[in-house]
Chains A and B, each alone.
Chain A
Amino acid sequence: MSDATQIGTSIGNKGAREGTAPLQAGVPQPGALDATPGQKLRRRIFGHAGVVIGGTVLFIIVMMAIFAPLISPADPFDQELSKKLIPPVWSDSAKATWEHPLGTDHLGRDYMSRLFYGARISLLIGFSAMLISGVIGTVLGVAAGYFGGRVDMVVNFIVTTRLSMPVVLVALAVVSLVGSSLTVVIWVLGLLIWDRFAVVMRSATQQVRNLDFVASAEALGSSRWYIVSREIMPNILNHLIVVGTLEMAHAILLEAALSFLGLGVQPPEPSWGLMIAEAKGMIFFDSWLIVIPGAALFMLVLAINLLGDGVRDITAPENRK
């Protein structure tokens, strides 16, 4: 390798290379012992703005969801038509009251309570759908990457087939035919969005599989299961986490879209997508009804994506010192 590119691109990890002490290979380099991998990891995590911001926002939303019954000002299903369409407290309207900090919807339900309970639905669906799709995609992807050949061809074909079917449309059609419920939405999304897991896990596995330490493990008589679980998985885990966050965000957005189109979570459940759909008719006069759940959705997805990008940055080889 030309040493110019090495200096130009990877000054960070040059210390571990020959350059420093070509004639004393047996002696560990000073400085290599400064920090354990764990300490370094912590340092990288807290030095990354995206991870800190994303992590904080996600933490707040998760707390909102868990403690929704404790912190909600009212019952999210309680209708009080005499108090309908109260604007949030920051508006100029005389109707605004601290009793309903974010106002009420067209049925007089407390909007803040609905927002808190809505977080539960988004997180539950996002996480469960991500788990289902993660299992399917990882199994397919790792199998394709590890075995190659015919297995790879078959997996590729399945992925191509899946990709050619429009997600939103198929999800809507299936939900409408099977009948809508929380479980159905989770399973439909989980069974539809594993493609990225499969694609990324496949190429990551292929890369690791061709490295010599896998051949060494084979030569040392390690079993296939051992090689996949101990040699390959730890090296593709970072990709799995990154795709996991992306797909969780994706699932949350899809659920919101399905609910928005009336075929996801059904009323009176307080899904954020459904809240926006219900407020659609009031866009002319009571636009906060759209802005609030939309902003919440945006913040949640943004936080998850920031976290995912952060994991990618932190675990990227060029940033590991």
Chain B
Amino acid sequence: MTASSDRSATADAPILEIRDLTVALPSSAERPYAVENLTFDVHPREILCVVGESGSGKSVTSLATMGLLAPGLSIATGSIHFEGTYTLTLGARAHNKLRGDRMSMIFQEPMTALNPSYTVGEQVEEVFQTHRPGMAASERRARALALFEEVRLPDPKRLARSFPHQLSGGQRQRIMIAMALALDPKLLIADEPTTALDVTTQAQILHLLKQLNQHHDAGIMFITHDFGVVAEIADRVIVMRHGRIVEQGTAQEVLNNAQHPYTQALINAVPRPADTADEAPDDENVVISVGGLSKTFHTPAGIFKPARTVHAVKDVSFTVRRGETLGIVGESGSGKTTLVRCLMRLLKPDAGSMTIGGVDFANLPSQALREHRKDIQIVFQDPYGSLNPRRSIGSQLMQGPRNFGVPRDEAMARVKRLLEIVRMPANSVDRYPNQFSGGQRQRLCIARALAVEPKVLIADEAVSALDVSIQKQVLKLINDIRDEFGLTVIFITHDLRVAAQVSDNVLVMQNGDVVESGPVHGIFNDPQHAYTKALLSAQPGLDWDIPTFEGAEDRVALAT
């Protein structure tokens, strides 16, 4: 809670006033309105966080404000006043005058938000060209460079001549911010601007936004699903659900004293370190032990280019005991995906050993490998890609046991038992993946993995694609199953908070190296490596002591 909450109380007239706004969805949609009876203000110099899960209508709100609603969405009732002007009847031309000048927007996906065909300098200068047609080319250039300085991009001159694909995600997002701030707008809308970024980059961007907020007059409407981010930057908070505002108030009030059960449930779902004490190590029961595992990718030399070598995984060693969870944490490019593929033997490691139940899995020849595949199973990140859309759930879930010679009836019985364990109805077997939601699909994937009775279960970012509330349920399910079956779980994640919540031991990876490993409490309370420290301090909302609201989930379920 670094942002000063007293500033929101200033007597400034609001820049944006939204009253009773209702946006209608096309008649084919499953609910009549994208947002309903929305009323709120944005004041100068404040950061207003709009929080909600997918489908809450938070993005529709921002696009309606910008006058950029997708065709098919129309404003049914209500009003939007921007700097006192009623914007809903403005023509396209008048709206264009506002956009990019008086109000501007940053989007979620920096990788695709910039036009690949023009240099980023050109794209920033285009704002001046459009809104200040009289401005000389030299001044445009100078002001663009000044903006690049302001958003702390290195070497602005060189950068301005770069194309978007030459920059990193964080740099692109800075360009987007520079573009949005070019003409010192009154309102800046940021739609999940850090969701697609690594946590350390996210921390830098949040820091930048907070700083800019002190030098510019703009009110910032910041859309997010992450209460950690809210705790980091918000002055005021609006919580949305199913197109309606369920709660609003100052950041203090909402974060620490939420009233609505839905808000409480969302806050409950924010991952936090589990307070289980470390159990005494029991070396007898080591299930998987990995030693010196390495994988290097070679791009062979062409006639005209030198060979390239990427050390994706360097000398990784660890052991995990029965009933234990190992968290492997790393940002993009840390080598955790390659590590997973090596552990699964979807890739053959170059060096090292990997023993599961006494068998060196890393060096098995392919025939023997197939027989031992059942010992280690995986649940992937993307719930929409990990089930075959053309085959029934039953047929897919039975496949594993069938591959290992289990008779059909027995395999079916096993699948039905597992469906019960992952809390899915037994009639799921006759249905197809498109009839299930993301969270349900992850449950089915867990059941599929368990069907071959593995010793080790790898969860590869298994909850990252899910909304926080679903995330929490799936995490709990994985933990329950681990305890019930005495499974060994390897939990791969980019999110330290999630790792802390589910793991006994944690391994931190950077650029293919393990930089630190040990019991979860040690890593979190006394990190040794600089990178671990950086990762930890980059977690949004560190200063927030997350409250717990007993029974909020039940009250929400009742309210639906």
Contact = CB atoms under 8 A, between A and B. Distances in A.
Chains A and B touch each other in the complex, with CB atoms below 8 Å apart:
yes
Interface of A: 1-9, 11-26, 28-29, 31-33, 37, 211-213, 215-223, 230-231, 234-235, 320
A21 B557 CA distance: 9
Given A3-B60, A234-B391, A222 B380 contact: no
Contact of B378 (A6, A12, A14, A215): A215
Interface of B: 25-26, 28-30, 34, 53-60, 62-63, 70-73, 107-109, 191-192, 241-242, 265, 344, 346, 370-371, 373-374, 376-378, 380-382, 385-391, 396, 399-400, 403-404, 423-425, 428, 431-432, 434-440, 443, 445, 448-449, 452, 466-467, 469-470, 473-474, 553, 556-557, 560
B386 A24 contact: no
A6 B386 contact: no
A223 B367 CA distance: 10
Contacts of B466: 18
B429 to A, nearest CB: 13
A8 B72 contact: yes
Cβ-closest 4 pairs across A and B: A19-B55, A8-B70, A4-B59, A25-B439
Nearest to B383: A212
A14 B30 contact: yes
A26 B440 contact: yes
Contacts of B57: 3
Contact of A215 (B55, B344, B391, B467): B344
Given A7-B55, A213-B387, A216-B448, 20 more contacts: A2-B107, A7-B34, A7-B60, A14-B30, A15-B30, A16-B437, A17-B437, A17-B438, A18-B53, A19-B55, A20-B55, A21-B560, A23-B469, A23-B556, A37-B432, A216-B380, A219-B346, A220-B377, A220-B403, A234-B390
Contacts of B376: 219
Contact of A18 (B59, B445, B467): B467
B30 A20 contact: yes
Contacts of A25: 437, 439-440, 443, 470, 473-474
A197 B265 CA distance: 52
22 contacts: A1-B108, A2-B109, A4-B70, A5-B59, A16-B435, A17-B55, A19-B55, A20-B30, A20-B437, A21-B560, A23-B560, A32-B435, A33-B431, A37-B432, A212-B385, A219-B346, A219-B373, A220-B373, A220-B399, A220-B452, A221-B400, A235-B388
Contacts of A32: 431, 435-436
Contacts of A13: 434
A21 B404 CA distance: 37
Contact of A28 (B34, B70, B436, B445): B436
A232 B371 CA distance: 22
A7 B28 CA distance: 11
A320 B241 CA distance: 27
Most chain B C-beta atoms within 10 Å of own C-beta, residue among A5, A23, A25, A320: A23
A2 B437 contact: no
B373 A221 contact: yes
Given A4-B60, A4-B63, A37-B432, A213 B386 contact: yes
A231 B438 CA distance: 20
B489 to A, nearest CB: 15
B38 to A, nearest CB: 14
A22 B431 CA distance: 21
Most chain A C-beta atoms within 10 Å of own C-beta, residue among B30, B242, B378, B400: B30
Nearest to B389: A235
A7 B374 contact: no
Contacts of B389: 235
A2 B190 CA distance: 12
A213 B373 CA distance: 15
Nearest to B23: A7
A26 B443 contact: yes
A216 B380 CA distance: 8
Given A14-B55, A25-B470, A219 B556 contact: no
A18 B390 contact: no
Contacts of A222: 399, 403
A316 B377 CA distance: 32
A221 B400 CA distance: 7
Contact of B29 (A3, A14, A16, A22): A14
B416 to A, nearest CB: 16
A7 B70 contact: yes
A31 to B, nearest CB: 8
A28 B391 contact: no
B459 to A, nearest CB: 13
B443 A213 contact: no
B30 A7 contact: no
Contacts of A223: 370
B388 A231 contact: yes
Contacts of B438: 17-18
B119 to A, nearest CB: 26
